[in-house]
């Protein structure tokens, strides 16, 4: 099991929800990368769509959205969001 998988198991419950938002940046980046996978490359999202996705994982969707934007996993411009970071499975491209 690699570090990302270990961190993921620690922070995400069996139901797939995020139990707690990590404080340490290294762990937070692993969690954010996992959340970024929920957004399709090349697609734009309205804020309410981003909120809907993030609420499935944690009630504090605003904090998750802010972290995703601050760490460049998502980009926001004029109320529209799109995925701009995170790992990419080349089989999906």
C-alpha 71/C-alpha 32 separation (Å) is: 8
Asked whether residue 72 is domain-assigned, the answer is yes
Asked whether residue 27 is domain-assigned, the answer is yes
Asked whether residue 88 is domain-assigned, the answer is no
> What does the pLDDT read at residue 1?
67
CA atoms within 13 A on the CB side of 78: 1
Segment 49-74, tens digit of pLDDT? 999 999 999 999 999 999 999 999 99
> What does the pLDDT read at residue 66?
98
Task: Name the domain count of the chain.
Answer: 1
Below-50 pLDDT ranges, the chain = none
Asked whether residue 89 is domain-assigned, the answer is no
């Amino acid at each position: 099991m690699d570090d990302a998988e270990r961190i993921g198991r620690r922070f995400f419950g069996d139901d797939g929800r995020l139990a707690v938002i990590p404080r340490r940046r290294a762990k937070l980046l692993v969690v954010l990368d996992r959340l970024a996978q929920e957004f399709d490359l090349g697609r734009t999202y309205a804020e309410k769509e981003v909120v809907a996705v993030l609420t499935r994982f944690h009630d504090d969707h605003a904090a998750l959205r802010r972290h995703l934007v601050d760490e460049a996993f998502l980009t926001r411009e004029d109320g529209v969001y799109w995925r701009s970071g995170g790992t990419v499975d080349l089989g999906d491209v």
